[in-house]
Structure 1
Amino acid sequence: MPESFTPPSSDERAVGRLAARSFGAFVASANAAGQLVVQPRMGFQDPGRMRQGLLATKAARCVAVGTMTIDSYTRVGDIAAAREAIRMNRDLNGYPISAHSEVTTRAVLVGLSDATFPVQVRHGSAEPQQIVDAALRCGLSATEGGPVSYCLPYSRLPLDRSVRNWAATCRMLAESGQGDRSGPGATRPHLETFGGCMLGQLCPPDLLVAVSVLEALFFHQHGLRSISLSYAQQTHSGQDDEAVRALRRLAAELLPDTEWHVVIYAYMGMFPRTREGAGRLLDSAARLAVRTGSERLIVKTRSEAHRIPTVEENIGALERAAAVADLEGRLLRAETGMGGHAQADSGVYDRARSLIDTVRNLDGDLGIALVRAFRLGLLDVPFCLHPANARRSRSYIDVDGRLQWSDAGGMRIPVDAAPRVERRLTSSDFLAALSYVQRTFDQDGPERGRIGTTG
């Protein structure tokens, strides 16, 4: 155990007693009380710093859950390299849960991971079994990812292998919760799909919604009954509103026997360089979450464009997002009392439903269906270079700031929803699209609650 870390108790029996509460139940309880749950991205190699970060998150002036983000070595299964980094006291970009001992990690969590503060393990791995096993042994039963969303953007692993790995991981999680019906002290394992965020900065919302739902159905097929569905903030807030409402409608239709909620991610692409622009973008994400009835928000900080944020910057972002959400909630209730506003419908639900149904009709085993769908180009992520991806689809940002299909490739979505744009996308066009949100918010900023207003 590193010398910089002093456990809160020398009694290993005390270290082993972690009174955890089910992640999904905690979020549901907060939502029932009218509160948005906020969450940081946070992970440190040193156990002492990891505990300090979790302590600060728990003490923040908001309803928050903790995050233990895993380092890159552990994500790819190179535990030897992670252990060497610990031995040499080298900084890693996350907490090496499989390299630290179970006693060390339980000491990090003791007195923190309890009924008022669940902790989620976040990792980005297409081979997550070792990470999830280590988490479960330390009393943590909430994590995230997915067979598609943690393979295509982050890994060169064949998609069918990722599917097998994630099937095994789902079963491991589901089996860990077999006791959740046998006593009040047991927890229900929770799994969040990353599908609504994959290469999200240039991926039209209907595909993000479809992949998020398909991964949730995959989790359900393998025994999980507490699931969250993700959606990453995009380039136009009106389009985001429609997409999240479509996501919620599909979850209600297709996961009727499941405890589920929606988690919004603050924008995943190039973040504004100015503190003011970054703050405005975070505010917009918090408003999106409240307007759409989403239950949880993963924040970003004002330093995202420059470096890894400090604990203090993370806490500032959590508290700011919670304050904006509270104000937006009060404004929304006032607007609702005056009749509210009509919701736009550009067909996101219909296109997402078409993609989902196409995949489900390929095979009764959703893992087999997902692999087949990508092989046939029936799912096709624009600008994704993974060998499993057909790479025929293309997207663009229209003059209103909405993400649209210029070429839907072989995906079976309505023809009029995918007008073919003949002009070829140049490298300058691509870079301009990637930096669109950054430029928009670093300038004077969009009007309240709306991202895209110009092309």
Structure 2
Amino acid sequence: MPAVIRSIPFSARWPRTFPALGRKIIDGSFQVVDVRRAGAALAVGGLGADSHSVGLFVLQRALVAAGFRVHDLGIQNDFERFAAAAPYCDAVLVSNMDGHAGHYLRDVTDLPGDCLWYLGGHPTMDGDTTALEGLGFTRVYGDFVEVDTVVAALREDLVGHRPRLTGRMTLPGRRAEPKIEGRDAVLGQWPTGEAARSIEENAAVLAQRPSLAELHGASPRPLLQPRSGVRGQGDQQRLFAELHGAGADVLSFQVDSLTRDGRYAEAQRAMSDRGDLNGFPVVNHGVDALRQISAACPVPLQTRHSARDPRLLAELSYAGGVTAFEGGPICYNIPYYAELPLAVSIDRWRYVDRLTGRYADLGVVLDREFFGTLTATLLPPCVAITTNLLEGMLAVEAGVRSVSLAYAEQGCRSQDVAAVRVMGALARELLATGRDVHVATVFHQYMGAFPRHPDDAEQLILASAETAALAGADRIVVKTACEALRIPGVEDNMRALALAGRGVDGAARAAHLWDTEEAARIEASVRSLLQAVLALAPGDTGACVEQAFALGYLDIPFSPSRFNAGRMVAARDLTGAVRILEPGDMPLPQDVLAFEADRLNERLAVAGVSRSEAWRLVADDVLRTNRRRTSWPLDRAARSERAVG
């Protein structure tokens, strides 16, 4: 019989910052969530393969603060999980951000339960929600909507409705995924896998393709890389040609969300029906298509994905002539998946790294990039850098010879420049000393809620590229000015590349003072974290990582994963720098924590907000650039005006 596990509250530190929500612990098929409030009971979660969790985090905190009882379903749910929750709830709030809500709800004819049903996020690719409204949702939001609007709508719709539950509610949980070991099993996951079997043949193809590792070392300025992924082979090839013509130095397959979730049969149906896919289905297209595309492309190609199981995707990417592969057991697990055990992801990524190392043994050096951006939002630099370094250690131990460590711009130039420089220096010290390993740094332009005003968005892209060049980043992953409004097209990416190029050129004329004190604090924090983590299981980096998350030594803000403690919280200070508001159990230097607390206390005082209401600052920080006109970088604006609390 499946186990029933009680829920536990957040640590005693948590209520000083946020109202207690109740942290779920799941082991088996059912979970029990303690519900103590008298307000209406809500189930809130993400639908489908979409991995966005920051907005859900903010929404849940606002709902709890408004007096509702909230059960967090997490992300990557199928409709049946929402349906199972409905009889226990007064309202079910469904979020879908990948535009495929119609696909996930295709078999739904009736919304169960005597409750309200809300659907929001970005549920359609074209903005037409008519068909979804016809399913019987109480409200459908086709685009971004303020949290206060949702709270007000719930209060209006629940007038006269008696709260359904007191005490506890029991909802279905999900089991951990089984391991799949061995190359035969991996290649057998989908019919296209067999074509990747000969590593020697694949190596001969890869040797003829442009190498990202070599290009990193040869370029005197940051390489520019746009995001790109469309459904068809011909369309993808034309897109690559146009982007290269517009100045892209590196190109990437942005993989669709069905492939990321291992739902190859559904991706195949979408291809056959000429349905919408929000990326390039690498696995379904297979080796021949990839080789044709890579042969026609004069610059290095990379696969970007966030796949639950990356092994077949890596096999096919390499066999198809793709010389770089992104991801790792932390960065493509903890920010994206609710129920994927670290032991499973470490095992799967060890397979990828050993495969990459095997190609290195044959003389083909492939690049492995770690998505150190993680949840990207209010992420203290020490957390991003430490996880990058640990994933780099795992890769190098498995034979990888080229690693790229990525950092997500937070918006305070002095802090971002210090972080990238420290990350590169520590990576070379830890990963390359005494080894033939190439190290590169990657700068992701701001990945939080993007400005809605085109002028602000373009100014951000320009200034962001300037920051990346000042930091000495080897590569910039470029955003587009329409990020907050729609999926970017070719022209949007071409315009963004031009802006980023101007920003890189402008860095030579930009006045910037190297903040040695900020760099010293970041370095001290990273060394403290690494020392504590690597002492947990000396000689076994994978076990160190697993135990560090279990103990809360590593803690990613806004993560949906139940394997993440969720006790560390950060907010911006008056300059826009990200500071740790609640450290949880992370072993950080006391002098650094004292400095961070002082900087945040200054902002709380200016904003007139008590520490018990500090979640309001966090919510404002998350949506700041989307809600109001903001100059970039934030510390430039802070010199002329007070930060808004």
Whether TM-score is above 0.5 comes out as: yes
Percent identity (aligned): 30
Determine the structure 2 residue equivalent to 1:27: 216
**Structure 2: distance between partners of 1:355 and 1:437:** 31
SS of 1:200's partner is coil
Work out which of the residue numbers 387, 393, 401 in structure 1 matches 2:576: 401
CA distance in 2, matches of 1:152, 1:218: 16
Matched, 1:299 2:478: yes
Query: Cα gap change, 1:414/1:427 in structure 2, threshold over 3 Å: closer, same or farther?
Result: closer
- In the TM superposition, residue 176 of structure 1 has moved relative to its aligned partner by 2.2
2:355 corresponding residue in structure 1: 172
Does the residue aligned with 2:566 lie in a helix, a strand or coil?
Answer: coil
CA distance in 2, matches of 1:70, 1:390: 29
For 2:348 and 2:633, the matched residues in 1 are separated by: 44
Structure 1 gap segments, 5+ residues each: 1-12, 181-186
| Correspondence for 1:348 | 522
SS in 1 for 2:580: strand
Shift of 1:447: 6.7
Does residue 1:101 correspond to 2:283, yes or no? no
Q: By how many angstroms is 1:108 displaced? A: 2.5
SS in 1 for 2:411: coil
What's 1:183 paired with? none
Q: Which amino acid aligns with 2:545?
A: L
Distance 1:342-1:44 versus aligned 2 partners, 3 A rule: closer
Between structures 1 and 2, the one with greater strand share: 2
Structure 1 distance, partners of 2:278, 2:506, is 34
Distance 1:425 1:222, change over 3 A: farther
Contact 2:414–2:514, Cα closer than 8 Å, also in 1 = no
Q: Does 1:313 align with 2:495?
A: no
Q: Residues of 1 paired with 2:379 and 2:477: CA distance?
A: 19
Match of 2:232? 46
Query: What is the one-letter code of the residue matched to 2:612?
Result: R
The amino acid that maps onto 2:396 is H
Task: Give the corresponding residue for 1:120.
Answer: 302
Mean Cα displacement is larger for which, 250-259 or 64-73?
A: 250-259
Q: 2:611 aligns with which of 408, 423, 428?
A: 423
Question: Would the aligned equivalents of 1:284 and 1:449 in 2 still touch at CA under 8 Å?
Answer: no
Q: Which deviations, in whole Å up to 9, do the C-alpha atoms of 1:271-321 show, x marking residues without a partner?
A: 000111111111122111111111100000011001110012112211220
The CA distance in 1 between the partners of 2:637 and 2:554, in whole Å, is 27
- Superposed displacement of residue 427, structure 1: 5.5
Q: Distance in 1 between matches of 2:274 and 2:348?
A: 31
Matching residue's letter, 1:291: L
Q: Return the alpha-carbon distance in structure 2 between the equivalents of residues 315 and 172 of structure 1.
A: 34
Q: What does 1:249-398 correspond to in 2, within 5 Å?
A: 249-256=425-432, 257=435, 258-329=437-508, 331=509, 341-346=513-518, 347-363=521-537, 364-398=539-573
Kept in 2, the 8 Å contact 1:39–1:297? The answer is: yes
Judged with a 3 Å threshold, the aligned counterparts in structure 2 of structure 1 residues 203 and 101 are, in CA distance, closer, same or farther, namely closer
Per-residue CA shift, 1:360-386, capped at 9, x if unaligned?
222212111100000011111223231
Three-state SS of the structure 2 residue aligned to 1:418 is: helix
Whole-Å separation in 2 of the counterparts to 1:435 and 1:361: 38
Deviations along 1:82-136, one digit per CA (max 9) or x if unpaired, are 1111111112011101011322222223221x4xx11111111131001001111
1:425, distance to aligned residue in structure 2 (A): 4.6
**Aligned residue for 1:229?**
405
The code of the aligned residue for 1:72 comes to S
**Could you tell me how far 1:426 is from its partner in structure 2?**
5.8
Aligned residue for 1:148? 330
1:139 and 1:245 map into 2 onto residues whose CA distance is: 31
The amino acid of 1:20's aligned partner reads R
> Structure 1 pair 251/447, CA: closer, same or farther in 2 (3 Å)?
closer
Which residue of 408, 415, 420 maps to 1:239? Answer: 415
Of the candidates 240, 248, 255, which is equivalent to residue 70 of structure 1? 255
Change (3 A) 1:91 1:447: closer
The answer to whether the 8 Å contact 1:446/1:452 transfers is: no
Which residue identity is paired with 2:212? F
CA distance in 2, matches of 1:246, 1:211: 14
The residue identity in structure 2 corresponding to 1:40 is P
Specify the alignment match of 1:194 in structure 2: 371
Give, as a single letter, the amino acid of the residue that structure 2 aligns with 1:362. Answer: L
Bigger radius of gyration, 1 or 2? 2
For residue 452 of structure 1, report the CA deviation from its aligned partner. 5.4
1-structure distance, mates of 2:347, 2:637: 39
**CA displacement at 1:46 relative to structure 2:** 1.2
Q: C-alpha offsets along residues 25-62 of structure 1, whole Å, 9 cap, x if unaligned?
A: 112111xxx222000111011111111111112212x3
How many angstroms apart in 1 are the aligned matches of 2:412 and 2:576? 6
- The CA deviation string for residues 249-290 of structure 1, in whole angstroms up to 9 with x for no partner, is 211211222201100000111000011111111112211111
Relative distance call for 1:52 and 1:299 in structure 2 (3 A) is same
Cα shift readout 1:191-232 (whole Å, capped 9, x = no counterpart): 00112x011211211111111121111211111010111110
How much has 1:63 moved relative to structure 2? 5.3
**Residue 589 (structure 2) aligned to one of 403, 408, 414:** 414
- Match for residue 9 of structure 2? none
Q: For residue 55 of structure 1, what is the aligned residue in structure 2?
A: 241
Structure 2 residue identity aligned to 1:109: S
Q: Which residue in 2 is equivalent to 1:207?
A: 383
Q: Could you say which residue in structure 2 is the equivalent of 1:7?
A: none
CA distance in structure 2 between the aligned counterparts of 1:299 and 1:452, rounded to whole angstroms: 25
Structure 2 contact 221–469 (Cα < 8 Å) conserved: no
Indicate if the aligned counterparts of 1:126 and 1:147 stay in contact, CA closer than 8 A: no
1:129 aligns with 2:311: yes
Q: Secondary structure at the match of 2:480?
A: coil
- Counterpart in 1 of 2:395? 219
| TM norm structure 2 | 0.62
Residue identity matched to 1:424: S
* Larger RCO, structure (CA 8 Å, separation 6 or more): 1
The alignment's C-alpha RMSD in Å is: 2.1
Is residue 238–residue 344 contact of structure 1 (8 Å, CA) maintained in 2?
no
2-structure distance, mates of 1:239, 1:121: 29
Instruction: Tell me: CA distance 1:27–1:200, structure 2 relative to 1, closer, same or farther (3 Å).
Output: same
Q: Distance in 2 between matches of 1:448 and 1:377?
A: 30
1:101 & 1:382 partners in 2: Cα distance?
36
The reply to whether residue 91 of structure 1 matches residue 276 of structure 2 is: yes
Q: Which runs of 4+ in 1 moved over 6 A?
A: none
| Equivalent pair of 1:35/1:63 in contact (CA under 8 Å) | no
Structure-2 change in CA distance of 1:110 and 1:40 (3 Å): same
Taking the aligned partners of 1:377 and 1:274, their CA distance within structure 2 comes to 39
